[in-house]
Amino acid sequence: MNRLTEFDITELEDPGFSRAVIDWQKQHGRHALPWQNTRDAYRIWLSEIMLQQTQVTAVLGYYARFLERFPTVVALAEAPLEDVMAHWSGLGYYTRARNLHACAKRVVEQYGGSFPSDPALLAELPGIGRSTAAAISAFSSGTRAAILDGNVKRVFARVFGVDQYPGIKPVEDALWRRAEALLPARGEGIEAYTQGLMDLGATLCTRGKPDCARCPLQPRCVAYATNRTGELPVPKPKKATPEKRALMLAVIDGGQVLLQQRPESGIWGGLLSLPEFDGHVGLDEAEDADVSVLAGAAGEFGTVAEVEPLLPLTHGFTHYKLHIQPYRIALERRAGTPAGHTWWNLADIDAAPLPAPVKKLLGQLGQPTLFG
């Protein structure tokens, strides 16, 4: 068993660790991100949720547009969920957006529009876990609380030579004990320390090519000393990625496309999407598409004039890969609007709350060879 799980917490304390991180962050860390240099818990919370499993460069534009539309937690709480989803469209992991809206409502209803400073109370809100709660509280209130996101786990795994997958419960529990023990003393810069751990993982101790020469923790790093930076952290045991297929119907009429409301739960929950012929079907169960069958299925939307395949695309979810085969179905006459569906102007499709791959494939409808 890795010795990490055997340590008493007092044996894990190391004031030099936090000092090295704080000194490095003040001189070399990131200081100009739009959610920094503020105690506004709303802005800090929004950035922390957006940055979950998403790179800073991808978040910047969304963050600015989101704040422009929802400048306060009250404005977010009062907005329709559809509006929130539309402004999140393309950022992925859409459960975050639904939790964001639910969390805003709770903060307004339960705390009068002010986020609590206690990490334990923050962690009870929708979409906020233990590490995110600690980060929000540290940056907004200076609370001495430990974080342990993916970047920090990677830093700890390398520095302390953790030779087990960090996602295993006993190992993760041990890493939390380590994180708590390494916190700087009160009044010694919890904000710089917290930001420093994030910055180290994001800019130096990266997954692929860690920049050990510039790392302030290099002198104490087990992975560096043993030439195992490429091996640690131990990766999650691989499982075969299931593959599925979906036939999507881009039903068009008079410059509009028919969109269907997705269920609140599940893939792309709460977003609009294209109607699907048979859902997400395993490739081993999928049958070849028959144009006449597709035309018949689209008959509920109106009189079909033409069926034409569009370019396929593949989209990866966390738990399976989806192969999408879209079809353009032009109507000669519209039959009406089925329940749960809406007609949307193609010229305004960028404003629709659509999953990124669906928005991408709908772009094909603007090509002269496919849509005149």
12 pLDDT more than 80: no
Average pLDDT of every residue of the chain: 91
Q: How many CB atoms lie within 10 A of CB 288?
A: 4
Q: DSSP characters for 188-201?
A: S-HHHHHHHHHHII
Q: Where are the alpha helices (DSSP H) in 14-94?
A: 15-28, 41-50, 56-69, 73-78, 81-88
268 pLDDT more than 60: yes
Distance CA 218, CA 232 (A): 14
Give catalytic residues, as residue numbers. 48
Q: What is the CA radius of gyration of the chain?
A: 25
Q: Report how far apart, in Å, the C-alpha atoms of 96 and of each of 60, 85, 118, 160, 269 are.
A: 16, 10, 21, 32, 11
Average pLDDT over residues 134-141: 98
b/e per residue 94-108 (b: at least 16 CB within 10 A): bebbbbbbebbbebb
Q: What is the pLDDT of residue 36?
A: 97
Distance CA 237, CA 357 (A): 28
For residue 258, list its beta bridge partners.
343
Domain chopping of the chain, boundaries: 3-225, 243-366
Write out the CATH class of domain 3-225. Answer: mainly alpha
Per residue, what are the HEC states of 347-372? HHHHHCCCCHHHHHHHHHHHCCCCCC
Cα four-point dihedral sign 51, 53, 56, 57: negative
Q: What is the pLDDT of residues 341-362, one digit of tens each?
A: 999 999 999 899 999 999 988 8
Q: What is the pLDDT of residue 285?
A: 72
Q: Please state which CATH number belongs to domain 243-366.
A: 3.90.79.10
Give Cα 310 distance to the centre of its chain. Answer: 29
Q: What is the pLDDT of residue 7?
A: 41
Q: Report how far apart, in Å, the C-alpha atoms of 357 and of each of 25, 132, 241, 360 are.
A: 38, 28, 19, 5
Percent of the chain with pLDDT over 70: 95
Q: What is the pLDDT of residue 370?
A: 39
Q: What is the pLDDT of residue 195?
A: 98
Yes or no: say if 103 and 130 are a contact pair by the CB < 8 Å rule.
no
What the block records as the tokens of 256 is 């509009």
Q: Do domains 3-225 and 243-366 have the same CATH topology?
A: no
> Which position has the token pair 């979906």?
246
Specify the DSSP element, H or E, that contains 324.
strand 321-334
54 pLDDT more than 70: yes
pTM to 2 decimal places: 0.76
Q: What is the pLDDT of residue 5?
A: 44
